[in-house]
Amino acid sequence: MPGQTTPRERANVLILALGQALFLIAAVTVMTLSGVVGERLASDPSLATLPVAAMMIGTLVITLPASLFMKRFGRRTGFLLGAGVGGFGGAAIAAVGVFAEAFWIFVLGNLLLGAYQAFAMYYRFAAADVASDAFRPRAISLVMAGGVAAAFLGPWNAHHAQALLPQTPEAGPYLLLGALALLAMLLLAWLRVPAPPAAERAISRPLREIMPRGRFVVALTTAALGYAVMILLMTATPLAMRQAGFDMGQVALVMQWHVLGMFAPSFVTGHLITRFGLTRVLAMGNALVLFSVAIAAHGETLAHFWLALFLLGVGWNFLFIGGSTLLTTTHTAGEKGKVQGVNDLTVFTLVAAGSLLAGALLRPLGWDGLNLAMLPVIAVLTVAILWLWRDDAHAPERA
């Protein structure tokens, strides 16, 4: 029957969702803990968020080579390489940095965890590869939903896994991340990604023909700017909360709800896109980010942090899944390696900049000023979404 999913499709999506969950536990641990550890280990307090930024820089450097590598050697090989070298290796080196009280070794470990992220960011595109056209929005959404587990386990790992090693508590979470990366490798070994038809692989336009097209620009803008705003505010949150007098348990609670907001909507985001259209979902995501900024700028109570970060997570979900889904409509199978690579390279250029600037901007601007500084970016997102709305309205005329 048309639209019916096969057992292999469902198995592949499940493997990718579990892989996503295991990777995101690592990412959320870094976001929650690495800035705090960095502040303790660094000789200069302004370098506190450098370990978090290092993960993003590692992602930035590896993301395009990762896409081209997987185009040649396959998704599964690339995912195994990322989890092994980046996930296991990076977590082990980060733990060594904590044991040795060595800031730059700790930064190196986080940098390698960025390589893990560079490969893992393609899980959502692999979901598109293994799914039929009708199942594709839901497949991408369901893989992103793997992050729901990370919403609970990431902050839990950052806080409670410190009890594993009472003498060097901050090393415990990173050692556990190494074990989870090995588990991810066992799961990903069962992934099977079908090759696209030869005729479809043969179609490949140069990037100069694809990139100026409006829908590609909107897909890139919504994913990249939405992610950059989210990561900047997310990275700054633990530091802002600690400065406001909150303890690590309260920081972990807010981060947990933020990550839950990022990924729990994924169970329905694909359905919402199918029912209401990409443009409406992107517009809702942008509105939620705006509401988040307004709430954060209004006060620094636990309730303000909690609600602002939760809405920021939901807004990011709509923008990122919507932008990723839109991107899959702008290229052929033969073009996906370079198009997806350029997309994620751009995304993580901005994400790395956001995470690196978080600590530096928080000091002079304060938490409320940092949030208000996001308004020009939200204005750019609004313009991009309005363009897409207009393009959708003219689509029947071009048909």
Q: Which of 78, 109, 71 is nearest to 92 (CA)?
A: 109
Tokens read off for 86: 């980046």
Residue pointed to by tokens 């709800």: 257
Phi, psi (rounded to 5 degrees) for 211: -65, -35
Q: What is the pLDDT of residues 79-114, one digit of tens each?
A: 999 999 999 999 999 999 999 999 999 999 999 999
Number of CB atoms found within 10 A of residue 96's CB: 17
Q: Is residue 2 part of a domain?
A: no
Which domain CATH number covers 347? 1.20.1250.20
Taking residues 289-301, report their average pLDDT. 94
pLDDT one-digit tens code per residue, 12-49? 999 999 999 999 999 989 988 898 899 889 888 778 77
Does 335 map to a domain?
Answer: yes
- List, for residues 246-270, the tens digit of each pLDDT value: 987 888 889 889 988 988 888 888 8
The range of the structural domain enclosing residue 135 comes to 7-394
Residue 358 lies in a domain: yes
User: Is 145 a domain residue?
Assistant: yes
Q: What is the total count of domains within the chain?
A: 1
Contacts of residue 208, defined as CB under 8 A and 6 or more positions apart, other chains included, come to none
Torsion of CA 120, 125, 126, 132, to 10 degrees: 160
Whether the predicted pLDDT of 119 surpasses 50:
yes
For residue 206, tell me if it sits in a domain.
Answer: yes
Spatial separation of the C-alpha atoms in residues 142 and 16, rounded to whole Å = 9
End-to-end CA, the chain: 28
Instruction: Write down the pLDDT at residue 314.
Output: 96
CA-based nearest residue to 35, from 133, 116, 122, 103: 103
Q: What are the structure tokens assigned to 10, written together?
A: 């469902």
At 398, the pLDDT band (50, 70, 90 cuts) reads very low
Is the predicted pLDDT of residue 397 greater than 70, yes or no?
A: no
Q: Is residue 73 classed exposed, middle or buried when 0-12, 13-18 and 19+ CB atoms within 10 A define those classes?
A: exposed
Residue 190 lies in a domain: yes
Looking at residues 129-139, what average pLDDT do you find? 77
Residue 1: inside a domain: no
Cβ–Cβ under 8 Å, residues 272 and 281: yes
In the structure encoding, which two tokens stand for residue 131, read together? 């799914």
In a domain, 269, yes or no: yes
> What gap in Å lies between CA 200 and CA 192, rounded to an integer?
19
Q: What is the pTM of this model?
A: 0.75
Q: Which two tokens stand for residue 224?
A: 């990249």
Average pLDDT score, the chain: 86
Cα distance between residue 168 and residue 210, in whole Å: 51
The maximal CA–CA distance of the chain, rounded, in angstroms, is: 69
